Amino acid sequence: MLARTVSDPLVSLAAAYLTASDNFMAEMVFQTFGSGFWGAPASIEGSQAAMEKFLAPVTACQGFHQENGSGLTWNNEFSPHCFAQLIANVFDLNSGAYTDLINGLPIGGKTGTLINRFQNPPPGFVASLVHAKTGTLDSREIVSALIGVQTIASGETVVFALMENDSRGGNLPILTQLRNWEDANVELLQSLAL
């Protein structure tokens, strides 16, 4: 052996790309997931098959389609319920993976793609209690998403998944309105005592 390199654990890599919203890194983690799952060289096909097997027991994810790991395609199909159920399932495991995942998500008003979000919150709202991932596609139509967790007024941790689309693509004012709607919903959710 001439050389050997050992990467950081996959969960650490995932945390890094979630915070920065690094699509290339997301794609590489997706392929590494498939390679590790099957013990074979990395490939899109292998990763797609691994994801199908991984998500098979998650009822809310039935009928999903994942073409790539970055999300930069119109052909990925996931429901908000699927994303919410995945986060809730990891939370229910009460594992370090949940902590690593949540700590890797951008923090409201502080890091990553949420650094400029929640700019006009209602009294009592604490943006830093929100840990979430954004998603945006903007070309032939606009798709915006905000998926994550937060602590609400009653002290409970809740999962939320908001996904919207608008067929009037390439329209920045509409995208801004969708993001403002997402923020308002998360702000309202935080005020609840369930």
Work out the mean pLDDT of the chain and round it to a whole number: 88
What is the three-class DSSP state of 153? coil
Write down the pLDDT at residue 132.
96
- The domain ranges of the chain are 1-76, 105-194
Measured between alpha carbons, how far is residue 150 from residues 10, 80, 95, 114, 159 in Å? 24, 16, 18, 13, 7
58-113: pLDDT as tens digits: 999 999 988 888 877 888 888 999 999 988 887 766 667 778 788 889 999 999 99
Reported pTM: 0.88
CA dihedral sign, ordered 144, 52, 101, 5? negative
Q: Tell me the two tokens of residue 5.
A: 């390199």
**Contact, 55 vs 79, CB < 8 A?**
no
Non-local (6+) Cβ contacts of 180 within 8 A are none
Three-state SS sequence of 62-87: CCCECCCCCCCCCCCECCHHHHHHHH
34-66: pLDDT as tens digits: 888 888 888 889 999 999 998 999 999 999 988
Distance CA 135, CA 128 (A): 19
